[in-house]
C-alpha cells in the first residue's frame, strides 16, 4: 500500500564521513520530503522534491526524487556532530480520484550518530 520503507534504521559514522539513506515504496508519490527530528522537537523540513528525477541540494544535503516516483535518497556530505538526529522521508501519495492526497506518509526514520 502507501508504506515507505526507509533504510538503514540507524547509522554510526565518524565526523567527516558521507552518509546515504533511502526510501522506497510500491506506490507512487507526488512529492517527497526529507525531515530531521531532534529529541523533543517536531520534524523540520530539509529538502522538498516535486518532480520525478529532480535532484536538489541544500548545503551539504542532496536528495533525489526517483524516476519511477517510488523512491528517494538523501545524501549528507562531510558529516558534522550537529547532523545527529533522526531523518525521516515523507511522501504525498498519488491518488486516482483526487490526483494527490493531502496527508504525508512517513518512513520509520534513520537514526544518525556522528562520532567526533
How, if at all, do strands 5-7 and 19-24 pair?
Answer: antiparallel
| Whole-number Cα distances in Å, 18 to 10, 15, 26, 34 | 14, 9, 28, 17
Contact 101, 95 (CB under 8 A): yes
44 binds another protein (CB under 8 A): yes
Smallest separation, CB 31 to another protein (Å)? 6
Site string for another protein, 88-107 (x = CB under 8 A): x-x-x-----xxxxxxxxxx
13 binds another protein (CB under 8 A): no
Q: Return residues touching another protein (CB under 8 A).
A: 30-31, 33, 35, 40-45, 48, 50, 88, 90, 92, 98-109
Amino acid at each position: 500500500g502507501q508504506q515507505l520503507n526507509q533504510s538503514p534504521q540507524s547509522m554510526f559514522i565518524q565526523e567527516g564521513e558521507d552518509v546515504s539513506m533511502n526510501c522506497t515504496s510500491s506506490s507512487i508519490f507526488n512529492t517527497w520530503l526529507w525531515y530531521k527530528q531532534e529529541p523533543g522537537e517536531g520534524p523540520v523540513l530539509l529538502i522538498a522534491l516535486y518532480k520525478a528525477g529532480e535532484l536538489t541540494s541544500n548545503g551539504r544535503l542532496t536528495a533525489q526524487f526517483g524516476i519511477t516516483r517510488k523512491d528517494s535518497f538523501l545524501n549528507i556530505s562531510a558529516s558534522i556532530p550537529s547532523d545527529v538526529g533522526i531523518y525521516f522521508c515523507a511522501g504525498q501519495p498519488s491518488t486516482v480520484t483526487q490526483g494527490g492526497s493531502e496527508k504525508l506518509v512517513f518512513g520509520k526514520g534513520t537514526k544518525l550518530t556522528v562520532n567526533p
